[in-house]
A = this chain, B = another copy of it.
């Protein structure tokens, strides 16, 4: 807390507060000579402007918020990395809020944010969201909000996401091509745009290859890893058990590996597995895991860039940008013949 402020600085220099302020902001009203003196003194006294006074006066926080379900997750960690890269370069500060997949937490966070603490919000929705009134309020007030990854269905929102439908389709196709007939889809509890779209891709692929859809093969998991392992084990032991698994999120693939280990099913011999995942060690797993990898870092970067464009009002009229960045499918041993 450097208690040295403009007043102190101006006294030291024998100038008025306003002149010093202008000098520091490089105003044309101040002579080059004076600016130099001011800069030097500021440096010497290690002057740091009070960000709150500045924000209060300018009605600009120089901060953005990132609201995500969790952070100990390869995807979100990478996305934040991308976001920070852009924000730090723009001289913006980044506030992170975790919702823990809890819409109550998400709503209260959004509500607090209305106070003006940030100039914009990047958000990936939590899974138990029905429809957040807070969020629509925020947006309709003209507040810059960009959704990434888990986005709302409503068309009026700026979003950055990946081609989930396509990913789900291609992953399923891949399983089909290696001979799978009974492909299970692992989805998480609640509603997620990603899970939903990936599933639509999965179903479309089944149709395309004339494989009958089977509701029993759409397996809803929870938010608890141990519970999921049980759910998956049960699915793998049922009559007409799946010979292929498409996991909509990384953690379910991991649970699948553990589940198979416990009931002595060999991947890929007994069941083939492919999963959406940003796991860096996918190729080192036993067996190596086939993945559809969303470009998390780029999505974060793109979402942040879009947000800053909105903040800086460099938007073309009211056009709502919807960016989609392709995922990449990498076939590895877990889904090979």
| Number of chain copies forming the complex | 2
Given the complex of chains A and B, what is the CA–CA distance between A285 and B271 in angstroms?
A: 18
Interface size band for A? 35 or more
A42-76 vs B, Cβ < 8 Å mask (1 yes, 0 no)? 00001011111101100101010000001111100
Contact status B70-A93, CB under 8 Å: no
Query: Which stretch, A11-19, A77-85, A305-313, touches the partner chain B?
Result: A77-85
- A69 CB to closest chain B CB (Å) equals 12
Contact status B280-A49, CB under 8 Å: no
Q: Which of chain B's residues have a CB closer than 8 A to the CB of A74?
A: 72
Interface of chain A, main secondary structure: mixed
Q: Which of chain B's residues have a CB closer than 8 A to the CB of A53?
A: 52, 56
Contact status A71-B61, CB under 8 Å: no
A286 lies within 8 A of chain B by Cβ: yes
Q: Which of chain B's residues have a CB closer than 8 A to the CB of A56?
A: 50, 52-53, 56
Contact status B81-A49, CB under 8 Å: no
Q: Which of chain B's residues have a CB closer than 8 A to the CB of A116?
A: 1-2, 48, 50-52
Contact status B80-A88, CB under 8 Å: no
Contact status B98-A84, CB under 8 Å: yes
- Per a CB cutoff under 8 Å, which of B2, B97, B143 touches A115? B2
Contact status B254-A284, CB under 8 Å: yes
CB-based closest 5 A-B pairs: A286-B286, A48-B115, A52-B56, A52-B55, A52-B52
